[in-house]
Amino acid sequence: MNMKNFQFSIYNFQKKRGFTLIETLIAIAILGLAVAGPLYTADRAMVAAETANSQLTASYLAQEGIEYIRMVRDNNYLATASSTAAWTGFLNTVSPVCDTSCQFDPASMTLAACGVSPAAQCGPLYLSPTNIYTQQIVGTKTLYTRILQTVSISGAEEKIISTVSWNFHGTAYSQTVTDHLTPWQ
């Protein structure tokens, strides 16, 4: 057997043996990309769904904050026979507490100022065992913090601002709802 035939037989042997190392690495890279693409897309879709869910919940919580302030106004009207006295009572209840920022606790039906000093920061909402979002430390702590604020537009109009904020995956989000309340009688 001469040298030329020997080299040719080795070359044929290598060809028939299978994949080379480079071919194997390229195949693994292609397979990795084929699997990684859909996994990344699925992960992004799950994060987007969670963000949308959080935004929807925050929107409802912000609107609920407006409704609580509206309830304070309406309760003042139900408690007094005079619309002037009711509006004044509402302003005396809400304005001093919520000019800077406040929180309403539906469990105790109270308004509490917050955000004025570091010791009085607005706290997170808790989901109670009865599925009520409350300021009381009972149940499950949530991501959300609701802050209410009143701004006097005129003697007969108050602007109510309800802001719910939360953090998700290191990004801060907030949802704000505003409304204007007036004496309605």
**55 part of a folded domain:** yes
d(CA 62, CA 82): 30
d(CA 39, CA 93): 54
**8 part of a folded domain:** no
User: pLDDT (tens digit, 9 = 90+) per residue, 125-140?
Assistant: 999 888 888 888 888 9
**75 part of a folded domain:** yes
**160 part of a folded domain:** yes
User: pLDDT (tens digit, 9 = 90+) per residue, 22-47?
Assistant: 888 888 888 888 888 888 888 888 98
What is the pTM for the complete model shown?
0.74
Residue pair 150/178 in contact (Cβ under 8 Å)? The answer is: no
The more confidently predicted of residues 10 and 112 is 112
Beta-bridge partners for 140? 127
Helix (H) or strand (E) holding 175: strand 171-181
**Structural domains counted in the chain:** 1
The more confidently predicted of residues 2 and 26 is 26
Structural domain including 25 reads: 21-181
**103 part of a folded domain:** yes
**107 part of a folded domain:** yes
| DSSP three-state, residue 153 | strand
**79 part of a folded domain:** yes
